[in-house]
Structure 1
Amino acid sequence: MVLGDFSKVRLLVVGDVMLDRYWFGDVSRISPEAPVPVVKIERSEERPGGAANVARNAAALGAQVSLLALVGNDEPGDSLRRLVEAGGIDASLYVDEGITTTVKLRVIGRQQQLLRIDFENPPSHEVLLAKLSEFERRLPGCDAVLFSDYGKGGLTHISEMIRLAKAAGKVVLVDPKGDDYSIYAGATVITPNRSEMRQVVGRWKDDAELESKAVALRQQLGLEALLVTRSEEGMSLFHAGGAIHEKAVAREVFDVSGAGDTVIATLAVMLAYGAPWAEAIHVANIAAGIVVAKLGTAVCPRDELDAALK
């Protein structure tokens, strides 16, 4: 399979951004103070996380990407802005004096995550309203809008944003959070993972029951499609034409963090390019298989995707 040129694809990514920090070190003893390992830190890394990682994944495929999000007036916010701009992304990062930029700090020893520490607090409504007017201004210049909801408060006005985007004829993709999906009504497609789907529709005993629950939810929300990512079971897309199942790509799984970001970013690029559903989710599934073999939030560059598709 040969992919087209994505350089004309224009995406607008809106959502909760965060800074992913990694401290790598050596573990050789247990602390005398408590039964925990002592990690001697040897190096550190910073990567864009959340909606910023979604934007970075889309840009790595060659698309033109704009990012609209909130950060605090702090050092992590400055780092995030620098990292995002270095990735070739046109970023509008609104500063809210009342918040600290969300940071997820992971401590890694012997290639294992030992601990994660989160720093976060919700944004103010005044800044969110300013973001809504910026969203309206940017809407005409994109082919698709992608909402990355990490439940951090940056998408308080998502229902209005979806309404505006659909009225403008845009493809609208949502990576959802929480148990109230009514706020995503009218989107083109939402992409819950298996546990997020269970939170909303309850458990299912087999694929037939999953399909009936997915179809009911899709119709209730007025979606064109619903994509459920299912870890080792691959992914399943439910749309008016029926269900499409993609088996998981057989690879050594190193780290699943950020795989959902890669899936929705790749799906957005494919749909904005005009690809049919079956082709779009096939490519998204291959891209996810590439990133789970990498440590931490990672991207699937275009050359790696091309090689895997061949």
Structure 2
Amino acid sequence: MAVVGDVMLDRYWFGKVERISPEAPVPVVQVHREEARPGGAANVAVNVGALGAVARLLAAVGEDEAAQRLAELLHRAGVETDLLRDPALTTTVKLRVIGHQQQLLRMDFENRLVTHAATALLARADALLEGCGALLLSDYGKGSLAPVGDWIRRGRSRGLPVLVDPKGRDYAPYRGATLLTPNRSEFMAVVGPWQDEQDFLARGEQLRRSLDLDALLVTRGEEGMTLFTAAGPTHHPARAREVFDVTGAGDTVIATLATALAAGWPLEPAVDLANRAAGIVVGKLGAATVSVDELRAACAARLE
């Protein structure tokens, strides 16, 4: 499974809030624990590996401590990595401060990928895709996939399903992909607000047709997810029992979908599996993964 896109390091500072600062009306967090996890496209790759598939990750990072930490975490997770290190880049870091199980603050450290780095990534496409069963493109708007159309054409020319987690208000660059997986707010930013469910379905099908997609999957939070294909739309209700954190849920969805499709699953059952995976991962803190055993248990519970 080939994964390309914008990687980042998710850092978490956990602590207690027991007083307000005398310097400003802000809480004082007594930090007692720190964690770091792969984020963005790196989290997609880790999710693929957690499902038992081999994940190959291609991405650009800086020459900094965050890049080294990210590489260590990916190695520990068993992800095959090809990280292009560029001193002109700052590895994206998202730092979240957590107090009493609530996110109090997020700080982002990042810059946009320079053109030559994106070109260098594309030059490694053939080596990356050799022997892979699917191509996952994780776009967080940092520039790794520019131009994304070239990646889509490379994957489709090899007969691979190309799945894209999109970003931005213009989806024209994603034309010809196998499947797009926008969330509700991302979808609304592209098609505009809808009046009712029928209007939503019409806008989804119009977008699918205009982009020449095999399928469009809109994840809708507590409303579940809706799949658009040439056969018509189908809705999958939400499966979450408890929602703790939606961070990285989209990564889990696209990773599960691609893994199932590469294994030969039909699209509808693959979407159902991805829906169940999303229901599990939103019950965990931060960018997390779902194991095969957890999915087996979720599917078994459905049959009881």
What TM-score, normalized to structure 2? 0.97
Which of 119, 123, 127 is the equivalent residue of 2:113?
123
Match in the other structure for 2:217: 227
Question: In the alignment, is the contact (CA less than 8 A) between 1:71 and 1:100 conserved in 2?
Answer: yes
Correspondence 1:3-22 to 2 at 5 A = 11-22=1-12
Residue matched to 1:50:
40
- Which residue in the other structure is 2:244 paired with? 254
Output the CA distance in 1 between the equivalents of 2:242 and 2:133: 35
Tell me the SS of whatever aligns to 1:64.
Answer: coil
Deviation per CA, 1:86-118: give whole Å up to 9, x if none: 111110010111011000000000000000000
Q: CA deviation at 1:140?
A: 2.5
CA distance in 2, matches of 1:32, 1:245: 52
CA distance in 2, matches of 1:105, 1:165: 34
Q: Deviations over 1:6-51 (max 9, x none)?
A: xxxxx10000000000000011001111111000100100000000
Give 1:278 deviation, angstroms.
1.3
CA distance in 2, matches of 1:122, 1:252: 35
The aligned residue for residue 290 of structure 1 is 280
Any idea what the Cα deviations from partners look like across 1:162-215, whole Å, max 9, x if unmatched? Answer: 011111111000000001101100000000000000000001122211111111
Q: Is 2:299 the counterpart of 1:271? A: no
Aligned AA for 1:273? A
| 1:8 equivalent in structure 2 | none
Moved more, 153-162 or 172-181: 153-162
Structure 2 counterpart of 1:152: 142
Match of residue 207, structure 2, among 203, 207, 217? 217
2:167 equivalent in structure 1: 177
Following superposition, which runs of at least 4 residues in structure 1 exceed 2 angstroms of deviation? Answer: none
Is contact 1:194-1:230 (8 Å) kept? yes
Q: Say which of 196, 199, 202 aligns to 1:206.
A: 196
Shift of 1:250: 3.9
> What letter is aligned with 2:194?
W
> Are the counterparts in 1 of residues 15 and 32 from structure 2 also a CA contact under 8 Å?
yes
Contact 1:267 1:281 (8 Å CA) reproduced: yes
Distance 2:287 2:117 in 1: 27
Equivalent residue letter for 1:75: E
Out of 121-130 and 28-37, give the one that drifted further: 121-130
- After superposition, the C-alpha distances for 1:124-175 in whole angstroms (9 at most, x for unaligned) are 2222211111112222321100000001111112111101111111100000
Number of aligned residue pairs: 300
Contact 2:2 2:132 in 1 (8 A): yes
Structure 2 residues without counterparts, runs of 5 or longer:
none
Letter in 2 for 1:295: L
Query: Take 1:236 and 1:223, find their aligned partners in 2: how far apart are those partners?
Result: 15
Q: Is the 8 A contact 2:17 2:99 kept in 1?
A: yes
State the partner residue of 1:79: 69
> CA-to-partner distance for each residue in 1:240-274, whole Å, 9 max, x for gaps?
11111110014111001100100010001011111
AA partner of residue 85 (structure 1): H
Partner Cα distance (2:250, 2:116) in 1: 30
Q: Is the 8 A contact 2:226 2:236 kept in 1?
A: yes
Q: What is the one-letter code of the residue matched to 1:244? A: T
> Could you tell me which amino acid in structure 2 is paired with residue 234 of structure 1?
G
Q: SS at the partner of 2:213?
A: coil
1:265-289 C-alpha deviation (Å, 9 max, x unpaired): 0001011111112101110010001
TM-score using structure 1 length: 0.95
Given that 2:118 and 2:143 are in contact with CA atoms closer than 8 Å, whether structure 1 keeps it comes out as no
User: Are 1:191 and 2:186 an aligned pair?
Assistant: no
1:41 paired to 2:31: yes
Contact 1:96 1:124 in 2 (8 A): no
> Does structure 2 retain, via aligned residues, the 8 Å contact 1:96–1:123?
no
* Cα distance in 2 for residues equivalent to 1:287 and 1:294: 12
Aligned equivalent of 1:27: 17
Deviates more, 1:14-23 or 1:207-216: 207-216
Partner residue in 2 for 1:61: 51
Give the AA of the match of 1:52. Answer: A
Which residue is equivalent to 2:123? 133
Ranges in structure 1 where 5+ consecutive residues have no aligned partner: 1-10
Partner AA of 2:166 in structure 1: P
Of 112, 116, 132, 2:102 maps to 112
C-alpha contact 2:248 2:287 (8 A) present in aligned 1: yes
